Structure 1
Amino acid sequence: MQTPRKHPAALPFLFLSEMWERFGFYLILGIFQLYLTDTAKGGWGMDRATAADIFGTFIAFVYLTPFLGGLLADRKLGYSKSIIIGGILMGIGYIGLAVHNLTVFYLSLALICIGNGFFKPNISTLLGNVYNDDNYRSRKDTGYNIFYMGINIGAFICNFFAAFLRNTIGWGAAFIAAGIGMFLGVLIFVIGMKHYRHADVRKPEQAGDMPLSRIFSVVFLPAIVVGLGAWFIPGNIFGSDSTDAFIFACIPILFFFVSLLVKADSKDRKPIAALLAIFAVSIVFWAVFKQNGTALTTWAQYYTDREIPAVIEQPAQQLYLVETIQNRPDSVTAFDSEFRVIRDDAGKPVKVWDKVPYFKNIAPEKMPAEGSTIHLYNTELFQSINPFFVITLTPLIVAFFALLRRRNREPSTPSKIAWGLLISALSTLMMVGAVYVSTNGAVKASPWWLIGCYGVITVGELFLSPMGLSLVSKLSPARITSLMMGGWFLATSIGNKLSGILATLWDTYDNKANYFLVNCLLLGSAAALIFLMLRWLNRIFKEYAK
C-alpha cells in the first residue's frame, strides 16, 4: 500500500518556480542602486537622489500591479496562464536591463512591473488551491512556510551570483543571469502543470461582486489620467515628476477604498475599517524596510568596513566575490566626491577629498600606501543578510508562537503586527549606534552593526508581513476579498515609494544619526498608533475573523 503524501506533488514545482523568480527579482534589487550610480564600470552615473527616486518608483509599481494581475487571473485568464505570461515578461525585462540604452532601460522596468503583477499573486493563490484537498488542508500553513523558504533561498543565493558575474564580466551578465533564472522558473512551472491543473479554477463574477469593467472605469482609468497629468505638470511638487505622478495616481485608488467603507452596510463596516487602519500603519513599515536597497546599501558601500580578513582573502578572490580597489588620487569622480561633505566656517560645503571613496574614511592604521590595492566584499552581498535571517529565524518564531498557543497566551494577529512595528523601530537604533561609533562616518563602522540592524528588522518583518496577509484573508467580507488584498498591496506599494523619497534625503543630513532617528520616529509613531487602536482592533478581530 502506498504511503500517502504529506504534501501535494505540486509543492516542489511551485517552490522551485518561485525560488528562481525571486532569484532574478532580488538579484536586480541588490545591484540596482549600485548600477545606477556606478561611473567606472559601465553604470549610468546618476547621483544617489535620482537613483533612490527611480528605485522607489520601480518597487512601488512592482507591488501595485498584483492587484490588477490577480483580478484578471481570477475572472479572465486563470492562474497558470497568468503565471507563465508574467514570468516571460519579467525574464525579458531582466535581460533588457543589460542593454545600455535609457529607453530600453525604462521599458524593461515596465515589463518587470507588469510581469510581477501577473506572477506574484497568482502562484501563491494556486498553491493555496492545491492544499484545499481534504488530504492536505490541515498542512496548508506548513506548505506556505516551505514556499516562503523558497522565496528567501532565491533571495539569499542571488547576490553571490551578482557579485561573481559583475566582477568577472560586467553588469549586463548579472542582469542576463536574472533573466535566465526567471525563464528556468517558468520552465519548471510548465513541467509540473499536471500536478496543479485541477487547482486552476477561475472565479467568475458573483452576485455582489464589482464588475471588472467598473473597477477599470472608476479606479484604474482615473488613476492613469491623473498620474499622467501630474507627470507633465511643469516643475514638480513632491521632488520629481515620477513621485508626483505616483502620488496623484494613488488618490483615485485611495478614494475608492474609502468609498468601500462609506458605502458598506453595518455588518461589513467594522472589518473594513480595521483593515484600512492596518493598511495605513503598514505603509510606514515598508517605507523604512525597503531602504535596504537605497540608504542601507549606501551605508554598506561607503561607511562599512568591507575589507576582507587576510586569512580568507585568497579563497574569496578565487570565488570572485570581492572587488579590488587601488588607492589612486586621480580615480575620484564628480559623483564620488559627493560621498561626504565638509563645511567651512560659513557653512558652505567644501569637497576636499583626494582619494578613492572607500579610502576617504578608512582608519589611519588601515590606510594602504598610495598606489597599493585592497580587496573588499561586494556591497550587494549584504543584501543576502535579510533572507538568511528569514530562513533561520522563521522556525524559531513559529515555535515561539506555538509555545504561547499551547499556554493560551498567543497574541492576536493585530497584536503581532503592533509588536512587529515596535521591533522594527528598534532596528533603526542599531544604525544610530553605528553612526556614533564611526564618528558620523569619519571612520568606518563594523559590519556587525548592519548585520544587527537586518537581524532585528527581520524579526519585525516576520511579525508583520505574513500577519498582514493573514488578517486580510480573515477579516475581508467574502465578496470583496480580492479588492481588500489589493488594498494590502497598495499599502505596500505606497510604502515602497515613500522609501525612495526618504532615501533621496540621505545627502541632506550632515549628521546621519538624525536620518535614522527620523526612521525610528516614523516607526515608533506607527507602533504607538496601532497600540492605541489595539483594543478596538482585537474586538473586531474576535467578532469577525473567519
Structure 2
Amino acid sequence: MSVTTNNFFKTKVLGHPAGLFVLFFTEMWERFSFYGMRVLLINFLTMAAIGTNPGWEWSTNHAGALFGTYAMLLYLTPIAGGIIADKVLGYRWAVVVGAVIMTLGHISMAVETEFSLYLGLVLLIIGTGFFKPNMTSIISEMYKDLPEKKDGAYTIFYMGVNAGAFFGMMLCGYLAEKVGWSWGFGLAGIFMLLGTLQFWLAKPLFGKIGEIPQKTNRKNEKILKSDNNKTIENHEETKKNPFTLMDKILIIITSFIGLGYAINDPLSKIGDIHIFPEEFIVSKDILSGPLVLAIIGLVLFIILIISRVSRYNKIIRDRMIAVIIFALFTIFFFASFEQGATSLVLFARDFTDRTMEGNSANIYLIVNTLLTIIPLAIVSWVLILLFKQTRHKILSSNIVLASSFLIIWGIVIWMLNNDISSHAYEIEYKVLKIPKIDKKTKKQEVDKEGNLLFQYIPITESYVNKPLDKIESLKTTIASKNNLKIGDEIAIHGEIGVMVPLSNEQEKKIREDYISSKKDSGIIHAKVSELRDSKIEITTSWFSILNSFFIIAFASLFTKWWDSKYNPSAAVKYGLGLIIMAIGFGVLAFGSQTIPQGATAGMVRVSIVWLILAYLFHTLGELCLSPVGLSYVSKLVPGRMIAFMFGMWYLAIAIGNKLAASMGGMIEEIAKKSNMTNFFLIFTIIPIIAGIIVILLNPLLKKLMHGVK
C-alpha cells in the first residue's frame, strides 16, 4: 500500500476513508441539482402561459426536442472531459471546474428568459462533461491499493447519487410548483455551489489523490507495469491496432453528423433554423434531409466499427461483438426508461388524480413525512460521523456541509408544515350547461342507461350571458392556506382541470396577462359553501422520487441475488431488465383505458396507483440491467480499445435518451390521433420483444464472451 493511500485510510467513517464521504456529499449535491432541474424542465416548458405559476406553453414536441438534445449531449461531453482531466487538469480540478460551470448554468436558468435557458443548458452540458467522469476516477485512484474495498466504496457512493436525486426532485419540484419555477431552478444552483465549496475546502483530506498528472509519474508507472509479470498479457491481446487515416476521417464525419442532427432537431422545430438541409438526396416527402444524413452517419459508423473490430484476433473480436450487441439493446432500454423525464411527467401532471381529501390526505401526509424525514435523518447521521472524524482537518468544509443540511431541514419542515396546514373548502360557482355532441354522428351523447350527457363550462368574468343560456351551479372542493368562512366570495382559476383559489395579487396579475395577450379573462367568481376536511394536491415531481426510493429499498436484495448461485448471465439480466420495465408501461396502458381519444389535460384523471406501480417495475428493471453495462465493457474490451468502446457505450445511452425525449414529446399527438393506452403500449411491446430476443441470444453471447463472466 502506498504512503498516500495509507495516510488516507487513517480517518475512517463506517470502515471507509472520510474522503469517500466528502465525495459522497459532493456527488449528492450535484445529483440534487441535476435531477432537481431535470424534473422541472419539461413541466415548465409546457405549462400554460397564464396561471398562478405560468410556464412557456410550448408544445410537447418542441419541449421533447430540446430536452432530448440536452440529455444526449450530457452523455457525450464526459468523454472529452475525462480525456482533459487525465492529460491536463487532474481529477480534482476537473470536478471543481465542472461544478462551477454547472452552478453558473443553474443560476442562468433561474432567470427564466429564453436566452438564459439556452445558455444554462449549454453550461450544464459542459460542466457535466468535466464533473461526471472524474468523481468516479478519484474513487478508483483512492482504492487502487485496496481493490477488495472498491465494491463497498462504490455502493456507498451510489447511495449518495440516489439520495441527491431523491431530495433534489422532491424539494426543487415542490418549490417550483408551489412557489415559482425560478425558486426550483435557483435551489438547484444553490446546492451545486455549496457542494463545490465543501469539496474544494476538503483538499487537505485528499493529499495528492486526483492531482494534476505528472509526466514523470506516468513514465514510472509504465516501467513498474512492465516489470510486473502479472500485468503482462497475451501478445495477441496487446497487439497494436492504431487508428488509420480512414478511421479518423470516419470518426470526424460521423461525429459531425451526429452532433449536427442533435442540435438541428430543436433549432429547426423551435426557431425554424436549419443546420442541415430540409431535403437531401431524396424527396422530403419520403424522408427529411436531416433523417437521410442521420442514416448516412449511422451507416458510416457501422463501417467504422466493423473496420476496427475485424482487425483484432478472433477472441477479442468476438468479445467486442458481444459489447456491441449489449450496446444495441441499451438503446431500447433507455428509449423507454427515460420516459420518466418526459411523457411520465406530463402524464402525472395532466392525467393523474393528484388530489386527496380526508383520510386519504392524512395517509399521504404520514407516508410523505416518513419518506422524507427518515432518509434525511440517516444522511444527517453520516454527516455527524464525518464531522467527528474530520473537524480538525477540514473544519471549513464541514461548516459548509452542515449549513447545507440546515437549509435542507428548514425547507423540509416548511414543506411538510405547508401541506399539513392546508385547508379544504367546498365552493359553488356558475356553469353553462350545454349538450355533449358526438363529433362523428353530430348527435347528443348518451350514457349506458340512455340518459342524455351534458358539458358544464365555468362562467368566467368575461362571459356575457345570452337569453337561451342554461345556467346552473356546480360545487367542487379546493385546497387553500387561507382561513375562509362560509359565504366568503373568492376568485378561482381553472388550471389543468383543477380549480385554484387566487390571492389578490394573483388575481390582478392573471387579469393583466389576459389583457396583454388579448384573450378573454378566465377568472371565475365563486362562493364558499361548506368547510371540508383537509385536501392535498400532490406535486407532479413527487412521483419522480419513487425511482430513487425504490432503488434504495431494493438494491440490497438484488445484490444478494447477484452474489448467490442463482446469479443469471449477462444476457438474461438484460432481458429481464427490458421485460420487467415493459410491464410497468403495460400497467400504465391498462390504467389509462378510461382516458378517451383526444382527451385534453385535466379532462380525465386516473388513480395514482398506476403511476406508482409503473415506477416500481421500471426500477426493478433498472436494477436487473444496471450491473451489466459498463462493467462488461471493461471486462471484454482490450486496453487499447477501451476508450473508444466506452465512448460507443455512452453514445448508445445518448441515442436512447434522445429517442426517449423525441418519442415522449409525441404524447399529445398520439393521444389525439389514437389514445393514451396505445402510446404506452409502444413502450410495452418493443422492450418485451427486445428482452426476449436478447435472452434467446444468451448461448451465442456466452460463446462470444469466451469465458468472461
TM-score (norm 1): 0.84
**Aligned residue identity for 1:539:** K
Residue in structure 1 matching 2:573, options 416, 419, 422 = 416
**Structure 2 equivalent of residue 278 of structure 1:** 326
- Alignment counterpart, residue 690 of structure 2, candidates 523, 526, 530: 526
SS at 2:353 equivalent: coil
Corresponding residue for residue 304 of structure 1: 352
Alpha-carbon contact 1:164-1:320 (below 8 Å) kept: no
Alpha-carbon shift at residue 132 of structure 1 (Å): 1.6
**CA offsets, 1:356-408, max 9 Å, x none?**
354389xxxxxxx9847974111111111111111111112112333xx2xx3
Residue in structure 2 matching 1:432, options 589, 600, 603: 589
- Residues 497-546 of structure 1 show CA distances to partners (whole Å, capped at 9, x for unaligned) of 0001211221223321111111111101211221121112123335245x
AA at the equivalent of 1:60:
M
Partners of 2:108 and 2:120 within 8 A in 1: yes
Tell me the residue number matched to 1:359: 497
Instruction: Please name the residue that 1:495 is paired with.
Output: 656
Distance 2:707 2:677 in 1: 44
1:381 is aligned to 542
Judge conservation of contact 1:99–1:172 (CA < 8 Å) in 2: yes
Is 1:263 aligned to residue 311 of structure 2?
yes
Letter in 2 for 1:395: S
* Distance change (3 Å), C-alpha of 1:239 and 1:185: farther
Correspondence list, 1:57-96, <5 A: 57-96=69-108
CA distance, structure 1, for counterparts of residue 90 and residue 583 of structure 2 = 42
Alignment deviations for residues 410-435 of structure 1 (CA, whole Å, 9 cap, x no partner) = 21233212211121121111111211
Deviation for aligned residue 1:353: 8.4
Measure, in 2, the Cα distance between the counterparts of 1:59 and 1:330: 46
Q: Check the 8 A contact 1:424/1:460 in 2, yes or no.
A: yes
Q: Residues 30 and 533 from structure 1, CA distance in 2 versus in 1: closer, same or farther, beyond 3 angstroms?
A: same
Matches of 2:694 and 2:114 in 1, distance apart?
43
Please name the residue that 1:224 is paired with. 256
Give the corresponding residue for 1:345.
440
Distance in 2 (alpha carbons) for counterparts of 1:76 and 1:212: 25
Using the alignment, how far apart are the partners of 2:424 and 2:64 within structure 1?
A: 26
Deviations 1:442-500 (A, max 9, x none): 64221111011101110110111232121112112112222212222111100000001
Deviation at 1:216, TM superposition (A): 7.8
Aligned position for 1:337? none
Aligned: 1:7 with 2:7: no
Identify the residue that residue 319 of structure 1 maps to in structure 2: 418
Shift of 1:214: 10
Residue 538 in structure 1 maps to residue 702 in structure 2: yes
Contact 2:571 2:695 in 1 (8 A): no
Indicate if the aligned counterparts of 1:50 and 1:504 stay in contact, CA closer than 8 A: yes
Q: Secondary structure at the match of 1:97?
A: helix
In structure 2, list runs of 5 or more residues that go unmatched. 1-8, 223-237, 265-273, 366-414, 432-436, 443-454, 459-493, 500-523, 529-534
One-letter amino acid matched to 2:688: G
Instruction: Report if the CA contact (8 A) 1:323-1:376 is conserved.
Output: no
Q: Distance in 2 between matches of 1:372 and 1:358?
A: 21
For 1:185, the equivalent position in structure 2 comes to 195
What's the offset of the Cα at 1:42? Answer: 4.0
CA distance in 1, matches of 2:134, 2:298: 23
Partner of 1:334: none
Greater RCO between the two (CA within 8 Å, min separation 6)? 1
Checking the alignment, whether the CA contact within 8 Å between 2:574 and 2:624 is kept in structure 1 is yes
Kindly provide the amino acid, as one letter, of the partner of residue 553 in structure 2: T
Contact 1:21–1:182 at 8 Å: present in 2 too? yes
CA RMSD of aligned residues (A): 3.8
Indicate if the aligned counterparts of 2:276 and 2:290 stay in contact, CA closer than 8 A: no
Relative to structure 2, which stretch is displaced further, 455-464 or 193-202? 193-202
Structure 2 residue aligned with 1:20: 29
Which of these residues, 632, 635, 647, is aligned with residue 474 of structure 1?
A: 635
- Cα offset, 1:166, TM superposition: 2.3
**What amino acid sits opposite 2:276 in the alignment?**
I
Offset at residue 239 of structure 1 (A) = 10
Contact 1:227 1:245 survives alignment (8 Å): no
Bigger Rg over Cα: 2
- Cα 1:17–1:307 change in 2 (3 A) is same
Q: State how far apart, in whole Å, the 1-side matches of 2:96 and 2:635 are.
A: 29
The Cα shift of 1:75 comes to 2.9
Q: Distance in 1 between matches of 2:617 and 2:527?
A: 37
Distance in structure 2 (CA, Å) of the matches to 1:295 and 1:209: 44
Q: Which has the higher strand share?
A: 2
Give, in whole Å, the separation in 2 of the partners of 1:30 and 1:325: 30
SS at match of 1:308: strand
Match of 2:41 among 7, 14, 32: 32
What SS is found at the alignment partner of 2:31?
A: helix
CA distance in 1, matches of 2:168, 2:618: 21
Given candidates 157, 161, 167, the residue that maps to 2:167 is 157
Contact 2:419–2:536 under 8 Å retained in 1: no
**Normalized against structure 2, the TM-score is what?**
0.66
Q: How much has 1:409 moved relative to structure 2?
A: 2.7
Equivalent residue, structure 2, for 1:456? 617
Deviates most, 445-454 or 212-221: 212-221
Q: CA deviation at 1:249?
A: 6.7
| 1:71 shift after superposition | 2.3
Distance 1:488 1:325 in 2: 54
Cα distance 1:66–1:211, how it changes in 2: closer, same or farther (>3 A)?
farther
Contact 2:78 2:130 in 1 (8 A): yes
Displacement of 1:64 in angstroms is 1.8
Q: Deviation of residue 163 (structure 1)? A: 3.5
How many angstroms does 1:211 deviate by? 8.1
Q: Could you say which residue in structure 1 is the equivalent of 2:152?
A: 142
Q: Structure 1 11/344 Cα, relative in aligned 2: closer, same or farther at 3 Å?
A: same
Gaps of at least 5 residues in structure 1 are 332-341, 362-368
Residues 76-122 of structure 1: per-residue CA shift (max 9 Å, x gap): 33211211111111111111111232222112111111111111111
Alignment of 1:234-253 (within 5 A): 234-235=277-278
Whether 2:64 is the aligned partner of 1:52: answer yes
Q: Distance in 2 between matches of 1:527 and 1:228?
A: 31
- Distance in 2 (alpha carbons) for counterparts of 1:384 and 1:267: 43
- Structure 1: distance between partners of 2:296 and 2:428: 47
Of 515, 524, 527, which aligns to 2:679?
515
Give the percent of matched residue pairs that are identical in Structure 1 and Structure 2: 29
Question: Residue by residue, what CA displacement relative to the aligned partner does 1:21-54 show, whole Å, maximum 9, x if unpaired?
Answer: 0000000111111110122334222112211221
Judge which range, 267-276 or 255-264, deviates more. Answer: 255-264
Answer with 158-167 or 463-472: which moved more. Answer: 158-167
The 3 A distance-change label for structure 1 pair 222 and 234 is closer
Equivalent residue of 1:198, what SS? coil
Q: Distance in 1 between matches of 2:157 and 2:244?
A: 30
**Aligned with residue 113 of structure 1, among 116, 125, 138:** 125
1:282 CA displacement: 0.8
Letter in 2 for 1:47: S
Question: Is the deviation greater in 145-154 or in 322-331?
Answer: 322-331
